[in-house]
Every structure is written in C-alpha cells, then in structure tokens.
Chains A and B, each alone.
Chain A
Amino acid sequence: MLPNNPIHSLLSGDYPRSRVLGALLFVVLICLAFAPFLFPGSQPLNVAAKICVFIILVASYDLLLGYTGIVSFAHTMFYGIGGYGVAIAMYNFSPSWTALGVGVIVALVLAILLALLIGLFSLRVRAIFFAMITLAVASAFAILASQLNEITGGEDGRSYRIPEMLRPAFRLFDEPVMGVMINGRILTYYLIFFSALLLFLLALRVVNSPFGRVLQAIRENDFRAEALGYRVVVYRSIANCLSAGMATLAGVLMALWLRYTGPDTTLSFAIMIDILLMVVIGGMGTLYGAVLGAAIFILAQNYLQVLMGQFSGMLESAGIPLLPGLFHADRWLLWLGILFVLSVYFFPVGIVGKLRQMRK
C-alpha cells in the first residue's frame, strides 16, 4: 500500500501482516465500536469497556516489556494512580469536568515523576534489578494506599459521582437510537472507546517512529545500542515514563467506568499478573498482541469460568476424584497460568507472532 494513504498514516505503517490477524482485529474493532447496539445489556457492555481499558494498559506494558525489553512490576501502581486521581478529585471536590481535568493532570504528573525517579534509580544497573525494585515500590504503594484512610478511603476505596453527562440517568436524546436509549452510561462507554482508540494509534506511532526503533535495538542488544551512540538509560527512562503515563490514563478511564476506585480493583498484584498474561499470550513486541491478548483474556475471565463450572459439575456428578477441583470455576487462573508458561516456552511470539509466521 502507498505510504500516503490515510490508513497507512493512521496505523503508522504497521499493518497486521496476516489476513487472519487483520480479520480478527477488524472483528474486535467492530464489536467494540458497536458494542452497545450489538450486545444489549449491562454485562456485555461492562466486558467491552474493560477490554478497551485493558487494551491500553497492556499496550503500554508491551511498550516496556515487548519493545524495550525491561520487566516492570509497578504497572498497576500507575494504573492505580490514574484511578485514585479521578477518585480523589471527584470525591473531595465536585463531580465536574474541571475537577476531573485537574485530577487527571495531577495524576499524570505524579506518575511520570515517579516513573522517572524509579527509572533513574534502577534502570542504569540491570533489567533484573529494575524488576525487583518495581515490585518492592509497587507493593509499598499498595500498602500506602490502603493505609491512608483519609485520602484514599483505605481498603474500602472510594465510590463517587462523575460529571452529569456520564451518569446513567442522563439522556442524550428523547428517542431511542436503533432500539437503544443513549444514556450517560453509553456516552461514558464511547468516551472510553475513542480515548482507547486514540491512545492505541498514538502508541503505534511511537513504536514505529525512529525512537521506537532505538527501543527495539536496546531490547536486542543494549551494549551495541550504547556503542552506536544512543544513551540507553535515557531511552529506557523515556519509555518507562511514556508507558507510565499511558497506564495512568487507562486507570482514569477505568475509574470513570466503575465510578469506584479501591486497592483491589487497581493496585492488586492479581491485576499485574493479568497484564503479564495478556501481553505474553497476545504476543510480546507487537501492539496488536495487546488487542488480542486483552480481548481473549477478558472474555475468558467472564465466560470461561461459567463453562469450567459446568464441566466441573459434570465431573463431580460422574464421581471422579480430584479432577473437579482442577476444573473448579475459581481455578481458571491455573489453566491460564499453564498456558502462560507454555507460551513463553513454545510461542514467545504469542498469538500475533504465530499468525504472522503462518503467512510465510
């Protein structure tokens, strides 16, 4: 395709490069874009919104893990900062757009400063050092958030009201459009969808820029990259800050959707593990992997459990020992964990990489 065609510039020249992948991505895009009309009801919309947010969160993590080759365990911390930014602004001031804007900006500044600080402190040494330090800092932050009752609401978190326009009671039109009443909930969904789309395209732009190429060079061989004259620490720190900023925005979007922020929904280590699983299963080092990883994982989280529960019930009624426990609905993480280990061994390129290889 021609370099000056609009799709080329929109995708920054990074095409799916596989028919199946292209088709899958298209299906995800269409499903997400028309989710309120295609799948009425609050549960499907909830899933769709979660997928949008997690695409951004996972894409930002891939920027670190897949493109720059550094492992961070503090990603949920930045996600949480975004969430708490909204929560504190909405709860302590007023549910207005101004407060929201201030909250977002303060959260962004704080997240980027923190990322810079952690980066400068530990990125100069080794990848493994960074991984450990981020783990320590993130867990300290999680404890801090659950202890500072007056500010964060402690373990209970904060429920709050969001701007008028985004509340469920708000009606954009008097009449339903295509059989669906356009209420504040759906407006919130589209706010999330378009922000996610914009951020995703922006991330594509970043990784396909000369800057992104340097990041990949560092991933492949940091020593050589340094020898070529690129300041590795500087590039890694910038990538770290960028990714932290994106994660913060993902947290903001999630906070707007849930109208609640608490340690369990934003800072818990379980979410960090979810992100890792999504990146690896989708495919490291390609942002499309984030889309597929997030979509598959969240669908599995919401629907696989039911299937597994039924299967486990079947086994139990058949009187087979131990197996029902393995297939219990709460054990879905076990299977995803095994899938994760297997995919690190056998398909480090993830689903996207496999699909791309199939073409050749």
Chain B
Amino acid sequence: MTAAADAPPTAALPKVRVDYLPMLLVPLLMLVALPLVGSVSTWVTLTVAALAMGMMIFLMASGLTLVFGLMDVLNFGHGVFISFGAYVSLIALGPLAGWVESDNLLLNIGVLLACILVAMLVTGGLGYAFERIVIRPVYGQHLKQILITMGGMIVAEQMIHVIWGASPIPLRLPEGLRGAIVIGDAAMEKYRVIAVVLGLTVFGIMHLVLNRTKIGLLIRAGVENAEMVEALGYRIRRLFVGVFVAGSALAGLGGVLWAFYRQTLTAGMGMEVNVLIFIVIIIGGLGSVGGCFIGALLVALVANYTGFLAPKLALGSSILLMVVILLWRPQGLYPVAKR
C-alpha cells in the first residue's frame, strides 16, 4: 500500500493560487486618477471612455495572445483581420441602410449585431485561409513567421484597396447610438456603454469556455505543454486551427466596434492598432488571456487619463506603462509558465 492510496479519495486537489496583485492595479489606477483629475463627473466620463476603449483593444488582442500561447506563433498580420472585419461590415450595412437611420433602438442595435455577425463569419473564414496558406508552412521558425505574416498583411491590405478602393470611407453610427447619456454632470457616450457591455459579455463567455468546458481545458493545457496534450491523444493542430479561427473572428468583432468608434474606414486602421495590441499582450504576458484583459484596461485608462492631464505625454504613455510593468515583471503580468 502506498501513501497515495491511503489518502481519502474525496480530498480535492490543492486550490490554484490566484495572483490578485495585477487585478488590483486597475481599480488602484482609477482611484489614483480621481484626485488628479479633480472633478468626479470628468473622471466618470474619462473612465467610461477608457473602459470602452480597453474592451475593444481586448477583443482585438485576445485572439493574438491565445494563438501565441498555444502554438508559439506571433501573427504580425493580425491587424488585417481588424481592417477586414471593419470593411466587411459594409456588406451588412448596404441592405440594412434603413435600419441605421431608423428611430427604433432595437433596429439600431440589430444592425450593429448584423455587422458583427457578418464580420465575424468573414474574418473567421479568412483566418482559416490565412492559417492554411500563410502560417502552416513556417511553424517553429520565428524569423520566417514574422516576415511571412508581415508579407501576408501587406498583400491583404492591398486587397482591401483593390476591393473597396483606397480612399477612407465614412461610417455612420446607427441613429439611436449617437449622443450621450448624461447622469448628473457626467456624460457618457451611448456607443461606449454598448462597447463596454459587449466587451464584458465576450470576456465572460471566453472565461466560461476556457475554464468550464473541455475544449477550454484542452486549450489551457496546450498553452502549458502542447506535447503532453498530443501524447494524451488529442490533435493539438485541430485545436489550434479552431483557436486561430476564433481569434480572427474576435479581431473582426473588435474591428467593427473600432470602426464605428472612429467612424471612418481606412485599410491601415488595423495596423495602427496593432502596435497598441502588441503593447497590451506584452504587458499581460504573452499567451495569457486574463493578463491581456487587464493589460488592455490599463493601457486604455493610462492613455485617457494622461490625455486629459498631460496631452503631450499621452503618446508615450503606453510605452512608459509597458516599461514600468516589465521592470516589475519582466515576463508580463501573468507569465505563462513554460516560456
């Protein structure tokens, strides 16, 4: 009889210790900003705006960080899915133009959801093709990966020009989502509130899938140790393709939200946010979804607060934040164990 067999069978595994420190950073940052900003109403406006921006960045970045974590592939062309998602929403906007101008809030939200659905379908398909054609031949070769995904991005961006033309396209928000809600002195743009709700919903779903389903378990296991998952008889490759497609679709979703936020479409918009996305996933720890979420919120909050307090500093603020975080935790907020 071994000692292990003696242990009562009901004894649960020791609980995983949750690292709360990074999670505290977000409320802490908000609290520190409050006296600096001075007025509560301005602070509420700024914070809501930042949360909306953070959600959008998170949506765009989550796919990238998972793909990296699972398969050690860094997709420099990730921005293309964002641009494509944004442009594809034009397909849905064409026949539904009446809904955009309608007074009915439900129709307004419906058109937004339709855009999102179309964009996610198309970018998901595009992600599948991208994985097949561009990424598959260069697994395990970082240098080539960077070059090839960059090349894929150039080609795809040019294709956007070919299909939709090179000039920026204005995009109108649905009627009911324009304007702001005013509570007391604090004004919150309606669209931003919707973005926050959408972002939180998606994060919630992602969290549930990753932590409460078998697929999620396999994905997390794959991030920790892909070989071991293979040895247990699961095809990590299929899992990876699935994650890649989902990640692309999420980028498309983020792209739609981002496009309505900017209210213009340009082919380079994905590449522009790509930089911010990289900063976010570095801050969060490459491969960590939770870290990515916190990183996105931190970046957006810092950008908005400094934009208000010291506009000159705002452009460097996210870089500065990254440096500070990396000095504290060189591998990001939530380092993924094997790397």
Contact = CB atoms under 8 A, between A and B. Distances in A.
Interface in B223-282: 271, 274-275, 278-279, 282
Contacts of B148: 341, 344-345
Interface string A314-331: 000000001001101011
| In the complex, the 6 A-B pairs of residues with the closest C-beta atoms, listed nearest first | A334-B158, A337-B154, A341-B151, A337-B155, A340-B151, A132-B278
A140 B146 CA distance: 20
A165 interface: no
Interface in A94-148: 121, 125-129, 131-133, 135-137, 139-140, 143-144, 147
A71 B146 contact: yes
Interface of B: 74, 76, 134, 137-138, 142-144, 146-148, 150-152, 154-155, 158-159, 161-163, 166, 271, 274-275, 278-279, 282, 312, 315-316, 318-319, 322-323, 326, 330
B315 A273 contact: no
A333 B154 contact: yes
B154 A345 contact: no
A18 B50 CA distance: 59
- Binding site secondary structure of chain B: helix
Contacts of B162: 322, 325-326, 328, 331, 334
Interface string A138-160: 01100110010000000000000
Nearest to A345: B137
B320 to A, nearest CB: 9
A125 B166 CA distance: 39
Interface of A: 65, 69, 71, 121, 125-129, 131-133, 135-137, 139-140, 143-144, 147, 269, 273, 276, 280, 322, 325-326, 328, 330-331, 333-334, 336-338, 340-341, 344-345, 348
Nearest to A339: B151
A340 B323 CA distance: 33
Contact of B316 (A121, A140, A330): A140
Nearest to A137: B319
A330 B152 contact: no
B107 to A, nearest CB: 34
B282 A337 contact: no
A136 B158 contact: no
Given A132-B278, A330-B166, A331-B162, A127 B315 contact: no
A257 B134 CA distance: 39
Contacts of B154: 273, 333-334, 336-337, 340
Contact of A140 (B138, B143, B147, B315): B315
A65 B150 CA distance: 14
B225 to A, nearest CB: 18
A36 B158 CA distance: 35
B147 A280 contact: yes
A162 B274 CA distance: 38
Given A127-B143, A133-B282, A344-B144, A338 B319 contact: no
Most chain A C-beta atoms within 10 Å of own C-beta, residue among B151, B159, B271, B318: B151
B303 to A, nearest CB: 12
A269 B279 CA distance: 17
23 contacts: A65-B143, A71-B143, A125-B330, A127-B142, A128-B146, A129-B282, A133-B282, A133-B322, A135-B278, A136-B319, A147-B315, A276-B147, A276-B150, A322-B162, A330-B161, A331-B158, A334-B158, A334-B161, A334-B162, A336-B154, A338-B155, A341-B152, A341-B155
Contacts of A126: 142
A273 B315 CA distance: 23
A348 B137 CA distance: 13
A128 B142 contact: yes
Nearest to A323: B162
A128 B75 CA distance: 11
A127 B141 CA distance: 11
A125 B331 CA distance: 9
B155 A334 contact: yes
Most chain B C-beta atoms within 10 Å of own C-beta, residue among A144, A273, A340, A344: A344
A69 B141 CA distance: 11
A322 to B, nearest CB: 8
A337 B74 CA distance: 19
Contacts of A139: 275
Given A337-B155, A348-B144, A144 B282 contact: no
Contact of B150 (A143, A147, A273): A273
A337 B151 contact: yes
